[in-house]
Amino acid sequence: MSPHSLRRFAGTPSVLREQRAARMEQVERCEMCSTPVASRHGHVVDVRRRALMCSCRACFLLFTRNTMHRTRYRAVPERYLRDPQRPVTAVEWEELGIPVGAAFLLRTDTGITVFYPSPAGATERPLDTGVWNGLAEAHPLLTTAEPDVEAILFRRTENSVDCFLVPIDVCYRLVGTVRLYWTGLDGGDQLHEHIDALFAEIRDKARP
């Protein structure tokens, strides 16, 4: 899989499906040393390009938090967390000003950015400092996310707002899923089924 920036989900859905099928026929390799990797493998973030790279276990371990090599490349952690004692309220969700039902917050050296998926890719904008401070005070989980490699993922449903700390590659999956399967005005049934399955997987993995 080639490096993907959140800004570079381009092409029509049909082209993306063809590219996905072609990648599945190829042997996936570590994008740092070219070693073949299994279908389930780790990822490393190129912070400078904001790109996700497939990695073998050896390269992944080179860029974990206990190494000095953290300037440009950082290994994506594998933890999923939630805080059932402090649910996000509908009012707090409205303060984020997000026009769709799912979004994620990413901390970087330059601040907090809101991303949400769309048929054209990931839309992004900086989060107001006051809104962030209020959310962080009420929800300590938000400040637990490692910059650049973990995100706070929200999903608004009719009855609640789900909130999880997830590896950033999960958010790439969400953006790619929307880009790949969107049809019609509301995304279509197939897209909603894929998104439901993704969030069911996240709920199963998330621990308090």
Per-residue tokens: 20: 């996905």
CA distances (Å), origin 31, targets 1, 11, 34, 44, 61: 8, 22, 6, 9, 14
Which of residues 62 and 153 earns the better pLDDT score?
153
In this predicted structure, what is the pLDDT of residue 70? 53
Determine the Cα–Cα distance for residues 172 and 10; give it in Å rounded to an integer. Answer: 13
51-55 and 73-75 beta bridge pairing = unpaired
Which of residues 4 and 59 earns the better pLDDT score?
59
Our measurement of the distance from residue 7's CA atom to the centroid of its chain's CA atoms, rounded to an integer in Å, reads 13
In this predicted structure, what is the pLDDT of residue 17? 59
Residue 5's pLDDT band (cuts 50, 70, 90): low
In this predicted structure, what is the pLDDT of residue 89? 94
Per-residue tokens: 25: 């026929």
In this predicted structure, what is the pLDDT of residue 40? 86
Residue 8's pLDDT band (cuts 50, 70, 90): very low
Q: Is the pLDDT of residue 1 over 50?
A: no
Q: Which of 12-21, 80-89, 93-102, 141-150 has the lowest mean pLDDT?
A: 12-21
Q: Is the pLDDT of residue 3 over 50?
A: no
Q: Is the pLDDT of residue 149 over 70?
A: yes
Q: Is the pLDDT of residue 75 over 60?
A: yes
Percent of the chain with pLDDT over 70: 85
Coil/strand/helix, residue 206? coil
Determine the Cα–Cα distance for residues 20 and 173; give it in Å rounded to an integer. Answer: 13
Determine the Cα–Cα distance for residues 127 and 140; give it in Å rounded to an integer. Answer: 17
Mean pLDDT, rounded, of the chain:
87
Reported as a single tens digit per residue, the pLDDT across 96-141 is 998 899 999 999 888 999 999 999 989 999 999 999 999 999 999 9
Is residue 28 within 8 A of residue 17, CB to CB? The reply is no
Reported as a single tens digit per residue, the pLDDT across 11-58 is 556 666 565 655 555 678 999 999 999 888 999 999 888 889 999 999
In this predicted structure, what is the pLDDT of residue 105? 96
Determine the Cα–Cα distance for residues 149 and 190; give it in Å rounded to an integer. Answer: 29
